[in-house]
Structure 1
Amino acid sequence: MQVLKLSIITIIAAFIRIVFLDKIPNGFFPDEASNAYDAYSILRTGKDQYGHFLPLVFKSANDYREGLYIYLMVPFIKILGLNEFAARMTSAMIGTLTVLIIYYLVKEVFNRRVALSSALLLAIYPWHIQFSRIAFRAILFPCLFCLSLLFFFKSLKQPKYLPLSGLLFSISIFTYQSARVFVPLFLIGLIFIFYQFLWQHKFYTLLASILFLLFFIPQLIFYISPQGMTRANDVILSSNWLTIIKVYFSHFSPEFLFFKGDLNPRHLPQHRGELYYFEMITIPLGLFYLIKEKRKENIIFLIWLILYPLPAALTSEIHSLRAIIGAPLLAIISGYGITKIVDLIKFYPRFIVNFIVLLIISISLVLYSDRYFIDYPRWLTHAWLPTMGSVITYGDKTSSDCIVIDTNVYGEHIYIFVPFYGKLDPNYYQKLGVDIAVDRLDMGRWKVENLNEISSFNSQCLYITTTQQLETIIGKGYKPQPLEHFKDINGEEIYQVVKIKS
């Protein structure tokens, strides 16, 4: 029966993460395209888009991304081709796998009932679903971290699992910037709580330490290098402690968790929190019993809770992506709270209580699904650059030898859509020497330029820009001649392909 329930939960998790995957979110983001084209380049040439052979860290858009996620994309692009669905399928599978891992992790610490409740919640969590449906590498962090912790808990009964746990903890750092802060601090807490167990099993502890350091030291050397600090400098690590403290506690606020969430439209549909309303009861209750039941394992979850907002707080920004490691933890705490509610309500038969609980969860999921699949594609469509694939495809089919993309569409990062949607041969693309770091964005017939800075337009070129930008062109004494209009799902005209005459 437990296997059947877990199978149903896994199917639900996979379905929510895969259905309409190439359509919702509505559009595609440059970070996704960059990850996918790097994976495509590795598949075809063994090199990234810059011509570096099998790199561990990808330069990408000059933000130097950990390569594990990109390598995991390769088989999906091999099978499904270079497209939005294949690019996002990696995250969907990782997200679904995390649901299974949470089940076995929680079962190891509590019991099957709590494990099923926790897995079900993570399967339908808005927070986790959002990042399971876009090709951002951060979704790999909670997956590998939870797997690492699972084997640590298993090692408490069978110490032979300790080295594997140490190895996985080290690899989990190599997933996303937030892991660089969270995992080392978490491990300090883990070692402090279980130092007697670790000392008792010195051989396995030593082996785990060696495996951890073997993979961590090369990462550390890179992270403190100028390239490794590039992204940290971009997001601006804060030195204002009052701001850090304020942002830190904001990640525990009802406003973030239940009502408004992360306001970035790429991180969550508007007008809802990261979790469900009913968890305003289940999370406090689960947390109460975690604290009340004085077990070492419970303390580990409390350390996890204390640390999860820290990577986001250090950048002085409420940020669900940088705090994503909190999603599986809150599912565990809430799942624990649900089982306690069922146990406490003794004046009704258990099957009735279980039915009411499932009904509340089901209604919550239906309301969220309506918000995500029906309303979300129509909100702030510019956040996902919709129809950009159609724009690039249109340009590719023209006979023009000069096509200029305006950076005002979405900055210089817009360049990556050309090789992605044009499926440019990586051998050819690498020879172009395209490099956003030095403003080298000439791709043969395709160029990326800021039309605001152009004083003289070429009448032989096609220009791809936003409808609003046409007023700027007219103001310079030129006349844009529209060739093609591109509208979003609401029928609003957002991009145009034009020729420009004086």
Structure 2
Amino acid sequence: MLKLEKHPSLYLIIILILSFLLRIIFLGTIPNGFFTDEASNAYDAYSILHTLKDQYGEFLPWYFKSANDYREGLYMYLMVPFVKIFGLNTFGARITSAVIGTLTVFIVYHLAKEIFNQRVGLLSALFLAILPWHIHFSRITFRVILLPCLFCLSLFLFFKSFKHPKWLIFSSVLFSISIYTYNSARVFIPLFLLGLAAIYWEHLWKHRYYTFWALIVFSLLFIPQLIYQLSPEGMARANTVGIQTDFNKIVSDYFSYFSPKFLFFEGDPSPRHKINNVAGLYSFQIPLLLLGLLLLLKEKTSSKWVLYLWLILYPIPAAFISPESAVRTLAVTPLFAIISGYAVTQIIEFFKGIWKQIVTFLLAAVIFANLLIYSQRYIFEYPYWHTDVWLSTLGETISYADQTSNECIIYSSNVYGTYAYIMIPFFTQMPPSQYHQFGVDIAESKLDMGRWKIQDLEQLETLNTDCLYVLYGDGNTDIPLGKDGEILERKGYREKFIHSFKDINNVQYYRLVEIEKKS
């Protein structure tokens, strides 16, 4: 079968190069724009780099307050060297995810090889390398990309403990650190470890010395997180998104994560979590996953139950929040890659002689064709889709405004609400030591940054005619100058257009104006 055993290192290198290219090409411009969560993570890393404090002035925190949702800090610390090398810009912010995503492909190779064999390992790595779900989150500055990476590494070390029991301790360390990656990990990892202990209790009991110390180490790292998780700060994000208590709704949302609509055809409804016309998995994987899950039942090794456990548990944290979330369930992407790789191996091994070559060629052609179609959509079509949700041209607008001679710049809260405050220090590259002095805190509506001020124009009795204004003007609405233009008109002001940037679709979402009182 492709004689994979003869040159495994060469094949792996090719897969890793492909993986990295899919994650880094046009990284600074696709997705077309830059979102507030990305800017917040990047500016926190930038602030740590220069002051050892986060954007709120907290010294080396475990959790970053960010937009009052208290994010796990591991990802931000990993961003620091990349921001140092590439600077505070879109590429410098996103390269961390691209590297982590590629590293995950490498780890999945070793994990699948440990569970099955080298051929499954290589094919599993290939599937993860080209998986739309994983590619997309490897190209944006979302900390969730770290979860599948650390989880797979933790599981790999656990399987290594069957040959060398001391790896149990190292595995427990990484499992506990995995919890500090993303909200859903706080539920998924403990549940998975309970299931893992049930499957391999004989192994753990046989090596109870190492099991004991693994448990101690895990507890030392997990308990502080658990205490924090139950605190008001730890519950901030859960309180924001809302945890469901309706049992029927939870069950319904749980099964939504197994629907073909979510997995293969439409994906996450949020346009920031997928590209149009492409779900997280390829449609040709439907028979592969079904066949793989059926054939796994015939395997005599207990490791198959670990894969089933992974599959059963992955939707649970997300089901308590909402249906069909690609972010909260990203931890499952390596599993789908492994099952697909296993199924392809079994299919090809079923055939003999010339039929094996024919089937191998056909499968390779299907994989290549789907990757080609996806790449074409991502590179040539995706930049035109949903530029509004990626806040396309907002960064250019802020940077241009910052270069003007105006001593005062009013940023209208209609420009994607007050949560876009972090875009200002990011795109102006405001020194963190200066930013800390302003005491910016969105939870307390403290959004004055000296020269820059975020204000709700509707709430102001009079407007400062000496300032430059960053306004929202949606070219897709019936109001030519948008809501902000309507407010100015109603309050008796006329605007003098200064500058604007039109996006790739020739739509103006933001504009810079000066204003004067009508006589």
Q: TM-score, normalised by structure 1?
A: 0.98
- 1:245-256 map, 5 Å: 245-256=251-262
- Matched AA of 2:121: A
Q: Does the CA contact (< 8 Å) of 2:257 and 2:323 recur in 1?
A: no
Select the residue among 233, 237, 247 that pairs with 1:241: 247
Closer, same or farther: CA 180–155 of 1 in aligned 2, 3 Å: same
Cα distance between partner residues in 2 of 1:74 and 1:16: 23
Cα distance between partner residues in 1 of 2:78 and 2:487: 43
Cα distance between partner residues in 1 of 2:460 and 2:130: 49
Aligned-pair distance for 1:355? 2.1
Cα distance between partner residues in 2 of 1:455 and 1:95: 50
Q: 1:472 is matched with which residue?
A: 487
Pair 1:343-2:358 in alignment: no
Pair 1:162-2:161 in alignment: no
Q: 2:499 is matched with which residue?
A: 484
- Matched AA of 2:86: L
Moved more, 482-491 or 93-102: 482-491
Pair 1:137-2:143 in alignment: yes
- CA RMSD in angstroms comes to 1.1
Q: 2:4 is matched with which residue?
A: none
Cα distance between partner residues in 1 of 2:212 and 2:178: 19
Moved more, 191-200 or 351-360: 351-360
Cα distance between partner residues in 1 of 2:314 and 2:459: 43
Q: 1:20 is matched with which residue?
A: 26
Q: 1:378 is matched with which residue?
A: 384
Select the residue among 446, 453, 456 that pairs with 1:447: 453
Q: 1:435 is matched with which residue?
A: 441
Aligned-pair distance for 1:482? 1.4
Q: Does the CA contact (< 8 Å) of 1:263 and 1:270 recur in 2?
A: no
Cα distance between partner residues in 1 of 2:124 and 2:465: 61
Q: Deviations over 1:83-102 (max 9, x none)?
A: 11111000000000000000
Q: 1:417 is matched with which residue?
A: 423
Moved more, 88-97 or 293-302: 293-302
Equivalences, count? 502
Cα distance between partner residues in 2 of 1:261 and 1:324: 12
Aligned-pair distance for 1:67? 0.7
Pair 1:352-2:358 in alignment: yes
Q: 1:231 is matched with which residue?
A: 237
Q: Deviations over 1:303-324 (max 9, x none)?
A: 1000111111110232000010
Q: Does the CA contact (< 8 Å) of 2:119 and 2:345 recur in 1?
A: yes
Pair 1:495-2:510 in alignment: yes
What secondary structure sits across from 1:381 in the alignment? coil
Aligned-pair distance for 1:347? 6.3
Pair 1:407-2:425 in alignment: no
Moved more, 69-78 or 460-469: 460-469
- 1:169-208 map, 5 Å: 169-208=175-214
What secondary structure sits across from 1:481 in the alignment? strand
Gap regions ≥5 residues in structure 2? 1-6, 474-481
- 1:297-312 map, 5 Å: 297-312=303-318
Q: 1:85 is matched with which residue?
A: 91
Select the residue among 356, 369, 392 that pairs with 2:375: 369
Cα distance between partner residues in 2 of 1:314 and 1:147: 27
Q: Does the CA contact (< 8 Å) of 2:16 and 2:102 recur in 1?
A: yes
What secondary structure sits across from 1:143 in the alignment? helix
Aligned-pair distance for 1:352? 3.1
Cα distance between partner residues in 1 of 2:265 and 2:490: 44
Aligned-pair distance for 1:424? 1.0
Q: Deviations over 1:275-323 (max 9, x none)?
A: 1111011010111111232431000110100011111111023200001
Q: Deviations over 1:365-419 (max 9, x none)?
A: 0100111111111011101001112111111111111111112211111111111
Cα distance between partner residues in 2 of 1:155 and 1:328: 21
Q: Does the CA contact (< 8 Å) of 2:256 and 2:323 recur in 1?
A: no
Aligned-pair distance for 1:476? 3.2
- Matched AA of 1:413: Y
Moved more, 53-62 or 93-102: 53-62
Moved more, 465-474 or 88-97: 465-474
- Matched AA of 2:254: Y
Q: 1:113 is matched with which residue?
A: 119
Q: Does the CA contact (< 8 Å) of 1:404 and 1:449 recur in 2?
A: yes
Q: Does the CA contact (< 8 Å) of 2:410 and 2:452 recur in 1?
A: yes
Cα distance between partner residues in 2 of 1:86 and 1:406: 27
Q: Does the CA contact (< 8 Å) of 1:57 and 1:64 recur in 2?
A: yes
Moved more, 176-185 or 310-319: 310-319
Q: Does the CA contact (< 8 Å) of 2:161 and 2:168 recur in 1?
A: yes
Pair 1:284-2:299 in alignment: no
Pair 1:215-2:221 in alignment: yes
- Identity across the alignment (%): 54
Q: Deviations over 1:140-190 (max 9, x none)?
A: 000000000000011112211110001100000010000001000000000
